[in-house]
Amino acid sequence: MEPFPCCSSATQVAREGKIHYLRIVGNNKKDMATEEAFFAGDPVAWGLYETLKKELVWRYPEMEVRVAKTQVSFFDRLMFGCVSFARVRRKAEMPRHFITLTLGLPEPVDSPRIAVKCQPYPGRWAHHIVLASNEEIDAELLAWIDRAHQFAQR
């Protein structure tokens, strides 16, 4: 039996003998967007995304992924982050292959890893982080993601 019979797509992630099923949802039921289609033009970015997604599924097994035209969003009741191809620096400063991770946090984070941060609402800071290698998905980044997840659950 499929883990999500009402859903057109689910991904299975295994780690340390445990299997998690991740629900993948597109915005348009007729023409379901897929993660593979979103990253079709850049297999290196697809690999980065897969590494990030595996970490997120392990941390938040109830997480849902929603694929749209311009971003792939991560939800656990509410959205806590998204991945896109947004160029948040000048083109000359961007790596050839990248993904941009956007997180909502309650306070600004000062780090050279943050490409852009802005305050769209009082008490909410959007942080855009350019990821170009699997090594950048490290403890510091995962701590920011944990904080964004906690913030979204309030």
pTM value is 0.82
Residue 27 sits at φ, ψ, to 5 deg, of -75, -35
Which band of pLDDT confidence, cut at 50, 70 and 90, is reported for residue 3? very low
Pairing of strands 18-26, 64-67: parallel
Separation of alpha carbons 69 and 154, rounded Å: 28
Per residue in 5-48, pLDDT (tens digit) is 333 344 555 555 555 555 566 554 444 478 999 999 999 999 99
Per cent of the chain over pLDDT 90 is 76
Pairing of strands 99-105, 124-131: antiparallel
- For residue 26, the 8-state DSSP code is E
Domain ranges for the chain: 9-152
Residue 58 has pLDDT above 60, yes or no: yes
Per residue in 125-143, pLDDT (tens digit) is 999 999 999 999 999 999 9
